[in-house]
Structure 1
Amino acid sequence: MEYITDVMVIEGKHATISAPAGYVTIPLDVNKGAGGRFIYICYKKGTGQERIIDLKVATASSYFTKDFATEAGYTSTNIDLNDGAGGEYIYLYYKKGTKGEYDTDGITDMLLVTGKNAFAPAGYDRLSVDLNRGAGGKYIYLCYRYYQQMPSADLRNWMGQVDDNRSIANISIPGSHDSAMWLTNMESTANILDSAAQTQYLNLENQFDVGVRSFDLRVYWSDSLDATALAHSTNIKVGYAGSYSNILFQDAFQRLVNKLKEHPTEFIIMLISVEQDMSASQAGKYKKEVDAILKTYRDYIFIDKGEEHMDRSNSDLLPILREIRGKIFIVSDAVDKGSLSGGYDNDPWRVRYKRDGTRIEYHKGDSQHEKCITMEKTFCEPYNGGGKTRFDQFTSAIQARNTYTEGKMGRFGANKDWNPPKHNNSNTPRQWSLETNPQILKYLQEHSELTRAALVAFDFIGFKESKNLAQEIVKVNPKLRAYQFSDRLPDTEQVRNLRYKGNTLYPGQSLRQGEYLASLNRKFIAAMKGDGNFVVYNSERSLWSSNTALCQHRLRAL
C-alpha cells in the first residue's frame, strides 16, 4: 500500500505554480476568495516504511500553537497559509513515523473541502480549522484518509441473526466510550491531555464494522465553528480540560445514519451528553441545530408507535428489535448545563418528528418519554429467558475499580455476582484498556454458559489485544454463539481474486461479477465469478452453479 510520505506547501504570484517532481498538488488555492498569494498544499506518496502519521493546523488562537507543535514533535511546512491575505497565521504541521503511535498505518490520501461546516467525504477525517480563518474568502478545510488495520470478522450485520421479537434489553450489545475521541481526530489544550483523552483507535464507521452498536457522544457549542461539536471534556474540574474532536456532531450523526442505510437489520444506541455550560445564546443555537437534525433524520430515529399489544418480554417500557431495526435509539443526558438547566423539559432531544413532519414533544412522566429518551430501565432488569447473566457496563478502569471496591452495579448492571477485573490505578484510557480488556475477553471466552452481557462500553474496542472483544460480546447472544465467527476471510482458490461483499445481500443491493458473499463462520461462499457464473461453495467443493459462464450477469436482491 502507498502512504503519504511527505507534505509541503508551495506559494507564488500566479496560479500556475508547479509542485516539485514526484509531488501531487491538491487543486485548490487555500487563499481562494481572500486575496494574497496563491498557496497550494502538495504531498508525495511512497511504499517505504516512513510515512505521515498525523496532521495538525496551528494558529494564533487555536489550542494547537506553534510552540505546542514543536513540543509534541511535529514539523512545520514553513509557509503561512494566509500569506498576503491578512487574518491569523496558519501553519500546517505533520508528524512522521514508521507507524502510528498505536500501530496505526498512516495517512494515505488528502483533499480539501469548501463551505461553512462542510463534512469530510466518507472514509475521511477533517481538521477543524478553516484555512482562511480571519482572512475572509471561502471556508476551506483539510481532510485526510487514515488507514486503520481492521479485525477481519464480519460483524456489520450481526443483529440480522437476532430474533425480531427480542426486547432490546435482552440483547448483548458492544459499545464504545467517548466514541469520537479516536487517535487522529482530536486536539487538546495541552500536550499531556492527548494521552489522557484518547479513548478509541477506530473511527465511527470502523467501530460500527467491528460490531459496536452503542456510541457515546459528548457535545458542546463551538462559537468558532458556529456549530455543535464533540469533545472528551471541556471542563477543567473534570480533569481533561480542552480535548476536542475534529468532527462536528451533525457529521457524526450522518455517518451513523449512513451505516444504518447500508445495514438495515441493525440499530444504534446514541448516548448524548453536554460537556460544558452554555450561555443563553449558545443554548438557543444548539436547540435549533438539534431540531434540524431531528427533522432531517426523522426516518432513522426511533419513535415508539404505541403498539402495546406487543410482548416486550423484559420490560413494558422497551421496544423489541422488529420495531427498532434501521433506527437510532437516542438517550439524552443533555440538560442542567448553564442555560440548558431546567430539567428534562428543557432538553431539545425530547422532540420527535413523524414521517409526515408532525412534531411530537415528550414530557417527564409520559410513558412515551420512558420508551424513547431515558435508559434508566433499559439494561438493568434481569433477563427472564433463563440462562446465565453475569456482566456489567463499565467504560474504564476507574469505573471498574469503583464497582469492584464499593460493590456497586452500574445502571446497566445485570447481576451482582459479576466482579469486574482489578487494575493498578493506571492514569490513561489506553493503560486502562491494556489492563482490563484482556481480562474481560478471557472471561467471556471461558464462560460459554452466558446468555446476556447487557450493554458493555469499552475504550479502544477493536484494537490489538481488544480486537475480538466486540465479537465475544455479540456471541453471548444465544443464537449467535452457534455461528462461531471466523476472524479470517476465505483464502481459497475460488475467491482469491474476488472482492468480499459481506454476508448478506439486502433488497435493492447487487452482487456484481468479481464479488462474493461468505457466511459468518466462513464455511459457505456464494460467488459471482468474473465470467458471469454464480456458484455456491462449501469449504471443500462446489454445491451449485447457475451455469451462466460467458454472460454478463449480476445477482440482485428483491
Structure 2
Amino acid sequence: MKKLRYLATLALVAVAASHVLAADWMTRLSPDTRVCSLSIPGAHDAATGNGFEGLDSVVGERYARTQELDLSQQFAAGVRAFDLRPAQCGNELRIFHGTLTTRLSYAHALRLLADSLKANPASLVVVVQRHEDDAKGAGYDQSRWAQLVDSTLHELGPVLIDYRPGLTVGEMRGHILVLSRDRYGQVPRGGYIDNWDDGGSWNAPQGARVAGVQGGERLYVQDYYNTTMEGAMTTKLDLMRQFLVHAATTPLRGSLWVVNHCSAFTRDPEAPLPGNTTSNGYRLNAASTNAYMARCVVAHAGLVMMDYAGVDASNGIKVMGKTALQAVIESNFTASNDKKR
C-alpha cells in the first residue's frame, strides 16, 4: 500500500512538473535568441476555444470550432502564438471565425493574454491578426474597423512591443507583438504582414514580409487550409515538410520569419455536403497534420499554428494537439535536426 501511495505521489509530481514546464518553457531560452528563429506553438482561430456567442453557438460548435481550450488555458498549455480575427460588431470589435461571433471581444482577448504574461513575465506572445471581413454586415465601415483596432491597441499600453528586425527574446519578454495582416493606420502598434499567401505552392509564399517603422524581414507562410479534395492531404503534409526543412537549414534563419500551419479542414463523412467546413473536419485534419508535426519538427520551425492545440483528443478524435505542441517546444532545446522527415 505504501508503495502504491508513493507511486501515485510520483505520478502527481510528474503531472505538476509537466504543467510548470509548459507554462514556463520560455524561461529556458537565451535572452539573446532572435524571436524569428524560435519554434513557437500557435493556435489557429484561437478564440473559438472560448465558445460562440448566443445563437451562433448552435452553428459554431458544429461547424467552426478549432480549439478545445480557451485562450488562458492555451497559454497555460504552452501556446505562445495566437491567431485572432477581429471584426466590427456595433461599436466594438469581436473575435469572429467566418461569420460567427465568439464570446471574446478583441479587447478582452488581448487583456487575457496580457494577464497571462503578467503571471509569466519570462514569456512572450505573438498575435497574428486579420480582419475577418466575412463578418461584414449592415452598417459596416472599414475606416471604423481601423479606428477601433488602433484605439484598442493604444489602450492596451506598454505590454505591446513595436516590431523591428532582429527582435530578441530578452527584448520581447513580458510583451505582446501584434502582427496584423490588414492595415489600420500608417504606423503599426507592432508590425504589419504583407503578401500573406494561402496557396499550395512552395514558391508562392516567398514574397511575404513582416514590416515595421524600423524596417522589415522576409516571411514564409504555409496556410494551405482545405484538405478535402483527393490528394490535398499529401500536398499539405509535403508543404509542411518543405517549410520545416527550409526553416531548419536556411542560412537566413536569423532574419527570416516562418508561419507553418498544421491547421486546415478535411472531409467530414457526416457533413451535410461534401467539402463543408465542420468542427470534426478540423479535428480529422489535425489527427494527421498534428501527428506529422510531432514526428518531424526540428529546430527553428517558426510559428506553428495548429487546431486543438494542447489536447490529444477532442470529441472522440485523436487530434494530437498536446503531443505536437510539446514537440514544437522541445525542438528549441535539441541540437539534432536528424528527425525523420
SS in 1 for 2:299: strand
Deviation at 1:248, TM superposition (A): 0.9
Rounded Cα–Cα distance in structure 1 between residues aligned with 2:34 and 2:130: 25
- Counterpart of 2:43 (choices 162, 173, 176) is 176
Does residue 451 of structure 1 match 2:299? yes
Offset at 1:424?
Answer: 6.1
Kept in 1: contact 2:42–2:305 (CA 8 A): yes
Residue type of the alignment partner of 2:72:
E
Query: Which residue pairs with 2:267 in the alignment?
Result: 425
The two structures, once aligned, show a CA RMSD in angstroms of 4.3
Corresponding residue to 2:131 among 274, 293, 308: 274
Q: Cα 1:173–1:190, aligned 2, differ >3 Å: closer, same or farther?
A: closer
The C-alpha deviation readout for 1:57-85, integer Å capped at 9, x for no partner, is: xxxxxxxxxxxxxxxxxxxxxxxxxxxxx
- Contact between 1:166 and 1:320, CA under 8 Å: does it hold in 2? yes
Residue 162 (structure 2) aligns with: 303
Q: Distance in 2 between matches of 1:432 and 1:244?
A: 20
Structure 2: stretches of 5+ with no match in the other structure: 1-15, 195-208, 248-259, 269-275, 337-341
- Gap runs ≥5 in structure 1: 1-149, 235-242, 307-316, 335-343, 354-360, 381-391, 482-558
Aligned residue for 1:320?
Answer: 168
Residue deviations 1:181-239, cap 9 Å, x none? 1263345559455321111111100011111111111111112xx211111012xxxxx
Distance in 2, Cα, partners of 1:216 & 1:363:
13
Partner in structure 1 of residue 327 of structure 2: 472
Deviations 1:292-343 (A, max 9, x none): 3232223111125x7xxxxxxxxxx331211211111111122xxxxxxxxx
Q: 1:267 to 1:333 in 2, by over 3 A?
A: same
Cα distance change of structure 1 residues 176 and 369 upon mapping to structure 2, 3 Å threshold:
closer
Note closer, same or farther for the CA distance 1:190–1:369 as it changes in structure 2 (3 Å cut): closer
**TM-score, scaled relative to structure 1:** 0.42
1:435 Cα deviation (Å)?
A: 3.4
1:195·1:428 contact (CA, 8 Å) conserved in 2? no
Match of 2:218 among 377, 400, 417: 377
Q: 1:413-443 CA distances to partner (integer Å, 9 max, x unpaired)?
A: 343699x899963355543454343445554
Aligned-partner Cα distance in 2 for 1:292–1:166: 32
Distance in 1 (CA, whole Å) between partners of 2:329 and 2:65 is: 25
Counterpart-to-counterpart distance in 2, 1:166 and 1:211: 18
Change (3 A) 1:430 1:156: same
| CA deviation profile, 1:259-316 (whole Å, cap 9, x unmatched) | 1111111111111111124888734443333233232223111125x7xxxxxxxxxx
Q: 1:98 — aligned with what?
A: none
Which string of whole-angstrom CA distances, capped at 9 and with x for unpartnered residues, describes residues 348-368 of structure 1? 383339xxxxxxx9999xxx9
Call closer, same or farther: CA 1:254–1:403 in 2, change over 3 Å. Answer: same
Aligned AA (2:106): F
Q: Is the 8 A contact 1:394 1:457 kept in 2?
A: no
SS at match of 1:220: strand
Residue among 219, 235, 255 paired with 2:112: 255
* Count of matched residue pairs: 276
Q: Which has the higher strand share?
A: 1
| Structure 2 match to 1:153 | 19
Q: For residues 42 and 156 of structure 2, what CA distance do their matches in structure 1 show? A: 22
Distance 1:182 1:329 in 2: 21
Distance 1:348 1:423, change over 3 A: closer
By percentage of residues, which structure has more helix?
2
Q: Does 1:220 align with 2:87?
A: yes
Deviations 1:368-413 (A, max 9, x none): 9714799972456xxxxxxxxxxx6666746996574389847x93
TM-score normalized by the length of structure 2: 0.65
| Contact 2:38–2:332 (CA under 8 A) maintained in structure 1 | yes
Q: Distance in 2 between matches of 1:327 and 1:413?
A: 27
1:476 partner SS: helix
Contact 1:265 1:326 in 2 (8 A): yes
Larger radius of gyration: 1
| Matches of 1:400 and 1:319, distance apart in 2 | 41
CA distance 1:327–1:167, change in 2 (3 Å): same
- Supply the AA of the counterpart residue of 1:228: L
Inter-partner Cα distance in structure 2 for 1:363 and 1:407: 24
Question: What amino acid does structure 1 have at the position aligned with 2:40?
Answer: I
Are residues 1:286 and 2:141 paired? Answer: no
Q: Which residue of the partner structure matches residue 46 of structure 1?
A: none
One-letter amino acid matched to 2:141: Q
Aligned 1:87-486 pairs, distance under 5 A: 153-154=19-20, 155-182=22-49, 184-187=51-54, 191-223=58-90, 226-234=91-99, 243-276=100-133, 277=136, 282-304=141-163, 317-334=165-182, 344=183, 347-348=184-185, 350-352=187-189, 370-371=211-212, 377-378=218-219, 397=227, 402=232, 404-405=234-235, 409=239, 413-415=243-245, 425-426=267-268, 427-428=276-277, 430-440=279-289, 442-443=291-292, 446=295, 450-463=298-311, 464=313, 465=318, 466=320, 467-478=322-333
Whole-Å Cα distance in 2 between the matches of residues 177 and 398 of structure 1? 18
Greater relative contact order (Cα < 8 A, sep 6+) = 2
